[in-house]
Chains A and B, each alone.
Chain A
Amino acid sequence: MNAIQSQLKALHDAGKPVLGCFPLYPPLELIHSLGIAPAVLWGFKPYFPQVPLADKHLQNYACSVGRYLVEFVLQDAGETLDGLLMYNACDTLRNLPEIIGRGLAKDAALPLHTFHVPAVSMERRGAREYLKDRLDGLIAWLEAAFSVKFDPDAFEKSVNLYAEMRGLMQKAQKFAGEGKALFSELAELCGKLNFMLVEDQIAALQDFCGACEQKTPAPAGSRVAISGILPPPPEILKAMEGAGLTIVGADLANMHRAWAYSPTPSKDPAAYYADFYENHFPCTTLLPTADRRLPALESMLEDCRAGAWIFAGEKFCEHEYFELPYVEKALKAKGIGVLSLEFSLGDEQNLGSMKTRIEAFAEMIEK
Chain B
Amino acid sequence: MFFAGVDIGSTSTECVILNESGEIVAADMRPTGANSAKAAQAVLDSAVEKAGLDAPPHRIVATGYGRVSAPFAHKVVTEITCHARGVLHLFPQVRTIVDVGGQDSKVIRIGPKGNVIDFVMNDKCSAGSGRFLEVMARALEVELDDLGPLSEKSAEEISISSMCTVFAESEVISLVARAVPVEDIINGIHKSIVNRLASQMQRMNPEPDIVMTGGVAKNSGMVKKLSMAAGHTVLVPENPRMTGALGAALTAMGLERE
A: which residues have CB within 8 A of B? 332, 337-338, 340, 342, 344, 346, 349-350, 352-353, 356-357, 359-360, 363-364, 367
CB closest chain-A residue, reference B77 = A363
Question: B103 contacts A360, CB within 8 Å?
Answer: no
Which residue in A340, A346, A350, A359 is a CB contact (below 8 Å) of B78?
A359
Known contacts A352-B65, A353-B104: does B119 contact A360 (CB below 8 Å)?
Answer: yes
B123 part of interface (Cβ distance < 8 Å):
yes
Least CB distance from B96 to A in Å reads: 15
Which residue in A332, A340, A356, A360 is a CB contact (below 8 Å) of B116?
A360
Least CB distance from A308 to B in Å reads: 12
In Å, the complex CA distance between A356 and B103 comes to: 13
CB closest chain-A residue, reference B67 = A356
Q: Inside 8 A of A364's CB, which chain B residues have their CB?
A: 80-81, 115-119
B79 part of interface (Cβ distance < 8 Å):
yes
Which residue in B79, B115, B117, B120 is a CB contact (below 8 Å) of A356?
B79
Question: B78 contacts A332, CB within 8 Å?
Answer: no
Closest 7 CB pairs of A and B: A360-B80, A360-B78, A359-B78, A364-B116, A363-B81, A350-B124, A356-B78
CB closest chain-A residue, reference B122 = A353
Q: List 6 A-B contacts (CB under 8 A).
A: A344-B124, A350-B123, A353-B121, A353-B124, A356-B65, A364-B118
In Å, the complex CA distance between A364 and B110 comes to: 10
Q: Inside 8 A of A342's CB, which chain B residues have their CB?
A: 123
Least CB distance from A132 to B in Å reads: 44
Known contacts A359-B78, A363-B78: does B103 contact A353 (CB below 8 Å)?
Answer: yes
In Å, the complex CA distance between A364 and B119 comes to: 9
CB closest chain-B residue, reference A352 = B65
In Å, the complex CA distance between A199 and B75 comes to: 48
Question: B80 contacts A356, CB within 8 Å?
Answer: yes
CB neighbors of A among B73-111 (8 A): 77-81, 103-104
In Å, the complex CA distance between A342 and B116 comes to: 21
Q: How large is the interface on B (under 10, 10 to 19, 20 to 34, 35 or more residues)?
A: 10 to 19
Q: Inside 8 A of A338's CB, which chain B residues have their CB?
A: 118
CB neighbors of A among B164-200 (8 A): none
In Å, the complex CA distance between A360 and B116 comes to: 9
Most chain A beta carbons < 10 A, residue from B65, B79, B80: B80
CB neighbors of A among B56-80 (8 A): 65, 77-80
Least CB distance from B116 to A in Å reads: 5
Question: B65 contacts A353, CB within 8 Å?
Answer: yes
Q: Inside 8 A of A350's CB, which chain B residues have their CB?
A: 123-124
Least CB distance from B29 to A in Å reads: 20
CB closest chain-B residue, reference A343 = B123
In Å, the complex CA distance between A317 and B34 comes to: 36
Contacts A349-B124, A356-B121 known; 4 new A-B pairs at CB < 8 A:
A353-B103, A353-B104, A356-B79, A363-B80
Q: Inside 8 A of A363's CB, which chain B residues have their CB?
A: 77-78, 80-81, 116
Q: Inside 8 A of A340's CB, which chain B residues have their CB?
A: 120
Least CB distance from A105 to B in Å reads: 35
Q: Inside 8 A of B104's CB, which chain A residues have their CB?
A: 353
In Å, the complex CA distance between A176 and B73 comes to: 32
Q: Inside 8 A of A359's CB, which chain B residues have their CB?
A: 78
In Å, the complex CA distance between A265 and B103 comes to: 55
Most chain A beta carbons < 10 A, residue from B80, B103, B123: B123
Q: Inside 8 A of B81's CB, which chain A residues have their CB?
A: 360, 363-364
Q: Inside 8 A of A352's CB, which chain B residues have their CB?
A: 65
Q: Inside 8 A of A337's CB, which chain B residues have their CB?
A: 118
Least CB distance from A34 to B in Å reads: 44
CB closest chain-B residue, reference A328 = B203
B28-66 interface mask toward A, CB cutoff 8 Å, 1 = contact, 0 = none?
000000000000000000000000000000000000010
Least CB distance from A290 to B in Å reads: 22
Question: A367 contacts B119, CB within 8 Å?
Answer: no
Q: Inside 8 A of B78's CB, which chain A residues have their CB?
A: 356, 359-360, 363
Least CB distance from A327 to B in Å reads: 14
Q: Inside 8 A of B65's CB, which chain A residues have their CB?
A: 352-353, 356
Q: Inside 8 A of A346's CB, which chain B residues have their CB?
A: 124
CB closest chain-A residue, reference B79 = A356
Least CB distance from B35 to A in Å reads: 16
In Å, the complex CA distance between A340 and B78 comes to: 17
Least CB distance from A53 to B in Å reads: 23
Least CB distance from A332 to B in Å reads: 7
Q: Inside 8 A of B103's CB, which chain A residues have their CB?
A: 353
CB closest chain-A residue, reference B108 = A360
Most chain B beta carbons < 10 A, residue from A349, A350, A359, A364: A364
CB neighbors of A among B99-153 (8 A): 103-104, 115-121, 123-124
Least CB distance from B28 to A in Å reads: 23
In Å, the complex CA distance between A342 and B103 comes to: 17
Most chain B beta carbons < 10 A, residue from A332, A359, A360: A360
Least CB distance from B98 to A in Å reads: 16
In Å, the complex CA distance between A359 and B81 comes to: 10
Least CB distance from A143 to B in Å reads: 48
Most chain A beta carbons < 10 A, residue from B78, B79, B115, B116: B78
Question: A332 contacts B118, CB within 8 Å?
Answer: yes
In Å, the complex CA distance between A356 and B117 comes to: 16
Least CB distance from B209 to A in Å reads: 20
Q: Inside 8 A of A332's CB, which chain B residues have their CB?
A: 118
In Å, the complex CA distance between A357 and B65 comes to: 11
Least CB distance from B234 to A in Å reads: 22
Q: Inside 8 A of A349's CB, which chain B residues have their CB?
A: 124
CB closest chain-A residue, reference B81 = A363
Q: Inside 8 A of B119's CB, which chain A residues have their CB?
A: 357, 360, 364
